[in-house]
Chains A and B, each alone.
Chain A
Amino acid sequence: DIQMTQSPSTLSASVGDRVTITCRASQSIRSWLAWYQQKPRKAPNVLIYKVSSLEGGVPSRFSGSGSGTEFTLTISSLQPDDFATYYCQQYDSYPYTFGQGTKLEIK
């Protein structure tokens, strides 16, 4: 199975900050990587797919980059609505696997 490792597990930041979350795959997943945002007691929502493609309706302050085994999600200027948990997910091969999550907290 492909292991997905996110860092950090928790991130404290302030409104207006630029933040980056990293996701590493245990083997190449080509470009088959998505990022999801999950708020408490809500289902996840896709932000980014295929490494860097922005899902419709997602603000442009979210961006993704990377290739092969190392990927990043960047939020250029944090807004109050962005404090949530973020998951990366590979869909290159079965079983699909998620990172353990990064909880973005208000500093």
Chain B
Amino acid sequence: EVQLLESGGGLAQPGGSLRLSCVVSGLTFSSYAMSWVRQAPGKGLEWVSVISDSGGRTYYADSVKGRFTISRDNSKNTLYLQMNSLRAEDTALYYCAKHTTYNHDWYHFDYWGQGTRVTVSS
């Protein structure tokens, strides 16, 4: 059974930092691209960032570019999101999501974690 388990959320002050983790089991983690997707309270889904299966390619939403860094440790089956210079508008439930991946190209999300909540407030 494929499982994605996020952690690391919590309360941070504006300008502060948090590091989210997502441990993946039930598949060969190093074969799949992974993304972070967030959902502000009562709002829709917003894609945040993607990382390729090897970790060599990353892309970001403009809203987080320069502040957030996605990374992965394939030896630990773990995806990360380092969040710096946090703003109130970063308050959301953060999901990690697995992409269907073929020949190092990735497509839709086929598995999601249950999310970890980030609140940015003074």
* Residue among A91, A96, A100 having the largest count of chain B Cβ atoms under 10 Å: A96
The binding surface of chain B is classed by DSSP as: strand
Partner of A34, one of B62, B108, B113: B108
Tell me the minimal C-beta distance from A88 to chain B in angstroms.
10
Q: How far is the CA of A93 from the CA of B46 in the complex (A)?
A: 14
A residues near B61, Cβ cutoff 8 Å: 95
A62 contacts the other chain (CB 8 A) = no
- Write out, one digit per residue, whether chain A residues 63-80 have a CB within 8 A of any chain B CB (1) or not (0): 000000000000000000
* Residue among A38, A44, A50 having the largest count of chain B Cβ atoms under 10 Å: A44
- Please report the number of residue pairs spanning A and B whose Cβ atoms sit closer than 8 angstroms: 55
B residues near A97, Cβ cutoff 8 Å: 47
Once A49-B100, A94-B59 are accepted as A-B contacts, the answer to whether A32 and B44 lie under 8 Å apart by CB is: no
Once A34-B109, A49-B107, A50-B107 are accepted as A-B contacts, the answer to whether A89 and B114 lie under 8 Å apart by CB is: no
Q: How many residues of B contact A (CB 8 A)?
A: 20
Tell me the minimal C-beta distance from B60 to chain A in angstroms.
8
* Residue among A1, A36, A50, A95 having the largest count of chain B Cβ atoms under 10 Å: A95
Name B20-49 residues within 8 Å CB distance of A.
35, 44-47
Partner-B contacts on A (CB < 8 A): 1, 32, 34, 36, 38, 42-46, 49-50, 55, 87, 89, 91, 94-101
